[in-house]
Amino acid sequence: MKVFDVREITAGVDAALAVVGNPRHRHMLKNYRRHALLEVSGFWEDILLPAMIVDHPVYRLTERGKTLVCDGLEEVRSFYADIVGRGVNVFGAVEEKVAVSDYGVFIEAVFAQVVRGGDSALAGEDVDPDGTYQVSHRFAAAWPYRDGRLVGEFI
C-alpha cells in the first residue's frame, strides 16, 4: 500500500487540469483542488465562502456502512469544525482518477487518512493508542456544481 504524502494530494486533479480545456470544467476542477488543499491544511472556513459553495449544500458521506448527511451550510460547517477539531483532517487520495462534466467532478480513488491509534477507524485493531496510523480504502464520489459552486459531496 502506498504511503500517504500530503504533498501529492492534488496529483489526480492536476492530471485532469493538464488535459481539460473547457473553461467551465477547469473552474470546477480548480474549485475541487482548492477545496482539497483547504481541508487538509485546516483552513476549512474558506471552503464555505460564497464563491466556493452554494448557500444550501448537501453532503452524503457513506463509510464502513454508515451514512452521514450534512444538510445545509450549518451542518457542513459543524462537520468541518468537528474533523479539524479532532485532528482527523489529514487525508487525501494516494491514487486518484478525476473526471469532469457539466454536472460536476467525479472521483475514483484510494483514499488515505492519518489517524491516532484511539480513532474509531481502528476499533478492534491491535494498535498503540498513542501511535499514528494510515487507514486506506477505495471510494468513488460525485461532486455536483451549479454556477461554478459546489452543491455537495456524494461519497
Residue-wise pLDDT for 39-54, tens only, equals 999 999 999 999 999 9
Question: Please, which pLDDT band fits residue 6 given cuts at 50, 70 and 90?
Answer: confident
- Given this model, what pLDDT does residue 72 score? 98
Residues in the chain, total: 155
- Given this model, what pLDDT does residue 123 score? 85
Backbone angles phi, psi at 62, to 5 degrees: -110, 125
How far apart CA 124 and CA 139 sit, in angstroms, is 22
Nine-digit cell at 63?
Answer: 463509510
In angstroms, how far is CA 50 from the centroid of its own chain?
18
DSSP 51: T
Nine-digit cell at 37?
Answer: 488543499
- Tell me if 112 sits within 8 A of 4, measured CB to CB: yes
Domains and CATH numbers, the chain: 6-154 (3.10.450.50)
Residue-wise pLDDT for 100-138, tens only, equals 999 999 999 998 888 888 888 888 889 999 998 888 889
